[in-house]
Structure 1
Amino acid sequence: MTQPTILVLPGLGNSGPDHWQTWLEGRLPALTRVELSDWDAPEPDRWVERLDHAVRSAPGPVVLVAHSLSCILVARWAADGDAAAKVAAALLVAPPDVESPGTVPAEACRFAPVPADPLPFPAVVVGSRSDPYCSAARACGFAALWGADFIDAGEAGHINSASGHGPWPMGETLLKDLLAQI
């Protein structure tokens, strides 16, 4: 099998220099961050187009590493496109509950409703018991809808730099485990 292209998909606001996705890019230089456009006022259709282009442009199979709003993006994109057949696996970390106005920023609510279709590729959803944007039970429910495995990260906040996840060895291990399975 050809080495997969690993695409990093940050959430609302992008992943800054202290975020675990940026840390992971430094540790595994084969990762490529997808520029989804307008990180602070995302348009769902534009983000779907950007993800679709990145997947179609990748040589060979693709592994997605999504955080926050990009978890919902992946589910939306997979439900609508045929390029999902190129995806070998996805790591979906800290999906927000975009159907819960007041819990998430208004910009994220543009991505509602949460797609309920199973993903056409293996996936792991990681949720936290102390995520202010989504309860662990709701994140587990997303995993069930999407046919994904669920990992409880414990009291990990939103699994971002604000919750102390610059270096995040658990995320690196989960990604390496996914890569070993494909």
Structure 2
Amino acid sequence: MKLPKPIALLLASLGLIASTTGLAAEAGSSLRGKQVTIVHGYMASPQDHWFPWLKAKLEAEGAEVDVLSLPDSAHARADAWLGYLQANIRQPDANHYFVAHSLGCISLLRYLGGLPTQTRIGGFVLVSGFADSLSLLPQLDEFTAQPLDYRKLISIAPRRVAIASRDDGIVPYRQTAALSRSLKAPLLSVAHGGHFLGSEGHTQLPVVYDQLLSMILH
């Protein structure tokens, strides 16, 4: 039986419906008119990890979804990635949401920081993000060489969430936690998520879907 949306929301808040994922199934085309852009990370592509699954889930709810294919992912360059984002994302607005993973997070934040000050987007979800040099990957230092304008980013994106795993072997948990504090974004901790890679079994990532859905519907 399909519940009216207000009743479904009330029951969800009381714990009588399991999660926002269940609510989405009731809501049908709840994301119609929303745009979601997914930004992958280092040595990745739109076909990797949990990106195809997330795209399909969001499109089933009526959203328009792009998983960008950043250039030369195995030899990533900060200027090339920023230029690609600038060329391939139309001017975002309050109906536009972003999901980024790993190196895609700092790249997305650089892009958002370069938008006009009056810009307002719907929000973003950052998975294993970082804003400081990674000891294991010094070749990526150019991405973090310049400080971010956190005040501007907070203004542009009123809804912000960071997700980190305590056993991430590539981006230390403390670095994602530091980024979340700088962005004044809630941090969701996962005990054993690794770096949220497909090779670690993460071909689906419900926590991202749930957080994004909650962000959009509320």
- Both proteins in one fold, TM over 0.5: yes
Cα 1:64–1:84 change in 2 (3 A) is farther
Give the structure with the larger helix fraction. 2
SS in structure 1 of the partner of residue 203 of structure 2: coil
SS in structure 2 of the partner of residue 40 of structure 1: helix
**Given residue 111 of structure 1, which amino acid in structure 2 is its aligned partner?**
F
Please say if residues 46 and 67 of structure 2, whose CA atoms lie closer than 8 Å, have aligned partners that are also in contact: no
2:134 to 92, 97, 100: 100
**What's the counterpart of residue 64 of structure 1?**
98
Deviation of 1:156 (Å):
0.6
Segments of 5+ residues of structure 2 without an aligned counterpart are: 1-31
Query: Are 1:132 and 2:169 counterparts?
Result: yes
CA RMSD of aligned residues (A): 2.5
**Given residue 11 of structure 1, which amino acid in structure 2 is its aligned partner?**
G
**What's the counterpart of residue 44 of structure 2?**
14
Aligned partners of 2:102 and 2:214: how far apart in 1?
20
**What's the counterpart of residue 179 of structure 2?**
142
Instruction: Give the TM-score, by structure 2 length.
Output: 0.72
Instruction: Give the TM-score, by structure 1 length.
Output: 0.85
Query: Are 1:79 and 2:113 counterparts?
Result: yes
SS in structure 1 of the partner of residue 55 of structure 2: helix
Deviation of 1:15 (Å):
3.7
- Listed as ranges, the matches of 1:13-52 within 5 Å are 13-15=43-45, 17=47, 19-29=49-59, 30-52=64-86
Bigger radius of gyration among the two: 2
Give the ranges of 4+ consecutive aligned residues of structure 1 lying more than 2 Å apart after TM superposition.
14-18, 26-30, 52-61, 78-81, 113-116
Segments of 5+ residues of structure 1 without an aligned counterpart are: none
Cα 1:5–1:16 change in 2 (3 A) is closer
2:148 to 115, 120, 123: 115
Query: Are 1:172 and 2:209 counterparts?
Result: yes
Percent of residue pairs bearing the same amino acid type? 21
Please say if residues 93 and 122 of structure 2, whose CA atoms lie closer than 8 Å, have aligned partners that are also in contact: no
Cα 1:96–1:144 change in 2 (3 A) is closer
SS in structure 1 of the partner of residue 122 of structure 2: strand
Aligned pair count? 179
Aligned partners of 1:177 and 1:110: how far apart in 2?
34
Is 56-65 or 160-169 further displaced after alignment? 56-65
Deviation of 1:98 (Å):
4.8
